[in-house]
Amino acid sequence: MRYVIIGNCIAAAGAVEGIRSYDQKGEITIIDGERRGCYSRPLISYLLAGSKGAAGLHYRSEAFFARNQARVIPARAVRIDPPAGQVELDDGMMIDYDRLLLATGASPLIPELPGIEHPRVKTLYTWKDAEEIAALVETGATAVILGSGLIGLKAAEALHQRGMKVVIVEKQEQILPRLLSPWSATIALRHLQEQGIQVLTGHQAVSISESGEVELDHGAKIPAQLVIVAVGNRPNQSLAREAGLKTGKGIIVNQYLQTSDPDIWAAGDVIETHNILSGAAEVMALLPLAHLEGYLAGCNMAGQAVRYPGAIFLNAVHFMGMHIIAAGEPNRSGTVLQWQQGSSSLEMTIDGDYLLRYIAINLPGITGPLTAIVEQQIRIELKEWQEFIREPSMASLPAAYWAEMRRWEEHGGLRCG
Ligand SMILES: Cc1cc2nc3c(=O)[nH]c(=O)nc-3n(C[C@H](O)[C@H](O)[C@H](O)COP(=O)(O)OP(=O)(O)OC[C@H]3O[C@@H](n4cnc5c(N)ncnc54)[C@H](O)[C@@H]3O)c2cc1C
């Protein structure tokens, strides 16, 4: 069996592990478009900050690929020919496959702004990006970050640590708009401001001048040494689309992570994942999911029939000493319970007897159980949550949670589909 994987990040690593769990002999070929090996994207902001060296960046070493007899080709795939079972590389080489995995991830969205091509306007998405930004860092000069999502905040943290003045410009009225509620965003915003980061919400850049000055929609102009664009990402699905595979917001896969072509699977940031709470197919660009999906796709490519039930939105962010964990449905309304003490807070949205979403700031101890309650949709009455929120802790978790835990143990562990 000839397995080919396009992309060489965490979904690809998971796929190698999945394939080798069931097939020790098949040939595995990985097409590594970045030519950097299998490295951790979340660690590039630490590389930029100078707190991590290049040596600690790889998820999987060359020895991992050698041990698993996986050949890594440093090249980009430019075309898939499904009827011929071939992938064409940018040097013209053709690679034959029996089973193909698309693990091509995502790329940053670049807004159409006058001046966006300026050489000091960068994204922070790849190892190369981090190196290019590092070469432009100037202590005491201003860096403007467009967007206050996870990547924007990680860029802000890194550049702040490198001694730059950081200004974040966010189009929405709050920071981390996809992760936080307005209430919890206010707590996170205060923390950022206390660390010396300037944040302008409700505004967007309209142009970048030749001297690097960023003009905002209300006319303000910010002279900047560096501009980081962090306004969102888009799945890299052009190869799939051109090969005639079904695509939507991401590549469409079935519960076995198989695309509309039975010989081609897809995993990671490039796919639409089934949201088990809303029932909708959504792009969930999260590292643990990319690894799991890659692993399950690999198992299925090797002849298994392992179902992927889907996932919930679960995001953990750590920046400037603040830990945020949020899980569940951001778009459904319900009864909102809030608790705050110093720099710690918890917000829960409850609909009937179900916890739809929680956002915990600096409260890591209880997030495991809360995530299980959201994910498994354990029934807990509102009055029990009202009691819990007075003093949230492991000890005050509702009795129904512990009863469900005992039930799982009796039935041999967690339900997973
Ligand atoms: C700065 C930063 C911080 C992050 N922090 C977190 C975090 O805290 N928590 C979290 O859950 N997630 C985080 N993420 C997201 C996380 O990194 C992704 O979910 C994860 O990397 C997805 O893995 P993947 O293997 O699907 O795709 P990717 O990591 O995007 O890798 C896909 C690879 O495929 C390559 N490729 C694409 N097209 C081709 C082609 N035609 N030929 C060959 N190769 C190709 C790409 O160049 C890329 O190297 C962060 C991302 C960034 C950028």
Q: Is 45 in the pocket of ligand 1 (CB under 6 A)?
A: yes
H or E segment and range at residue 24: none
Residue to probe by mutation, ligand 1, list 29, 126, 269, 283, most atoms within 8 Å of CB: 269
Question: Residue 361, Cβ neighbours under 10 Å: how many?
Answer: 22
Burial 23-42 (b: 16+ CB within 10 A, else e): beebebbbbbbbebbbbbbe
Kindly write down the DSSP assignment for every residue of 73-103, as one continuous string.
E-S-EEEEETTTTEEEETTS-EEE-SEEEE-
Q: How far apart are CA 44 and CA 154, in angstroms?
A: 9
Q: How far apart are CA 74 and CA 234, in angstroms?
A: 23
Q: Is 6 in the pocket of ligand 1 (CB under 6 A)?
A: yes
With beta carbons less than 8 A apart as the criterion, state whether 110 and 31 touch: no
Residue to probe by mutation, ligand 1, list 287, 295, 319, most atoms within 8 Å of CB: 287
**Closest ligand 1 atom, residue 76 Cα:** 42
What separation in Å is there between the alpha carbon of 106 and the centre of ligand 1? 6
H or E segment and range at residue 279: none
pTM of the model: 0.94
Q: How far apart are CA 291 and CA 276, in angstroms?
A: 18
Q: 145 forms bridges with which residues in the sheet?
A: 168, 228
Q: Is 76 in the pocket of ligand 1 (CB under 6 A)?
A: yes
With beta carbons less than 8 A apart as the criterion, state whether 322 and 189 touch: no
Q: For the chain, 417 residues long, give each residue's pLDDT as a single digit of tens.
A: 999 999 999 999 999 999 999 999 999 999 999 999 999 999 999 999 999 888 889 999 999 999 999 999 999 999 999 999 999 999 999 999 999 999 999 999 999 999 999 999 999 999 999 999 999 999 999 999 999 999 999 999 999 999 999 999 999 999 999 999 999 999 999 999 999 999 999 999 999 999 999 999 999 999 999 999 999 999 999 999 999 999 999 999 999 999 999 999 999 999 999 999 989 999 999 999 999 999 999 999 999 999 999 999 999 999 999 999 999 998 788 999 999 999 899 999 999 999 999 999 999 889 999 999 999 999 999 999 999 999 999 999 999 898 888 887 777 654 433
Q: Is 269 in the pocket of ligand 1 (CB under 6 A)?
A: yes
Q: How far apart are CA 182 and CA 178, in angstroms?
A: 10
Kindly write down the DSSP assignment for every residue of 189-231, as one continuous string.
HHHHHHTT-EEEET--EEEE-TT-EEEETTS-EEE-SEEEE-S
Q: Is 41 in the pocket of ligand 1 (CB under 6 A)?
A: yes
Give residue 417's pLDDT.
33
Q: How far apart are CA 253 and CA 246, in angstroms?
A: 8
Residue nearest to atom 16 of ligand 1 (CA): 287
What separation in Å is there between the alpha carbon of 105 and the centre of ligand 1? 5
SS3 content of the chain, % helix, strand, coil (to 5): 30, 30, 40
Q: How far apart are CA 130 and CA 380, in angstroms?
A: 45
What separation in Å is there between the alpha carbon of 9 and the centre of ligand 1? 6
Residue nearest to atom 43 of ligand 1 (CA): 33
> How many residues does this entry show for the chain?
417
What separation in Å is there between the alpha carbon of 75 and the centre of ligand 1? 17
Question: Residue 306, Cβ neighbours under 10 Å: how many?
Answer: 17
Question: Residue 43, Cβ neighbours under 10 Å: how many?
Answer: 19
With beta carbons less than 8 A apart as the criterion, state whether 144 and 167 touch: yes
Structural domains of the chain in order of their starting residue, each with its CATH number:
2-41+58-107+233-301 (3.50.50.60), 121-229 (3.50.50.60), 321-410 (3.30.390.30)
Report how far apart, in Å, the C-alpha atoms of 153 and of each of 30, 88, 146, 169, 321 are: 32, 37, 10, 11, 12
Residue nearest to atom 3 of ligand 1 (CA): 42
- Helix 10-22 × helix 287-301 angle, to 10°: 30
Q: How far apart are CA 235 and CA 5, in angstroms?
A: 16
Q: Is 236 in the pocket of ligand 1 (CB under 6 A)?
A: yes
| Nearest alpha-carbon partner for 324 in 200, 185, 196, 198 | 185
Q: Is 125 in the pocket of ligand 1 (CB under 6 A)?
A: yes
Nearest 10 degrees: Cα torsion 333, 286, 159, 112? -80
**Closest ligand 1 atom, residue 75 Cα:** 43
Maximum Cα–Cα distance across the chain: 67
Nearest 10 degrees: Cα torsion 13, 17, 23, 29? 10
CA atoms within 13 A on the CB side of 360: 19
**Closest ligand 1 atom, residue 269 Cα:** 26
What separation in Å is there between the alpha carbon of 126 and the centre of ligand 1? 8
> Which pair of structure tokens corresponds to residue 15?
């796929």
Q: How far apart are CA 343 and CA 26, in angstroms?
A: 53
H or E segment and range at residue 57: none
DSSP type of residue 55: G
Q: How far apart are CA 396 and CA 328, in angstroms?
A: 21
- Helix 367-376 × helix 399-410 angle, to 10°: 70
Kindly give the residue spans of alpha helices, DSSP state H, lying in 38-149. 44-49, 62-67, 127-136
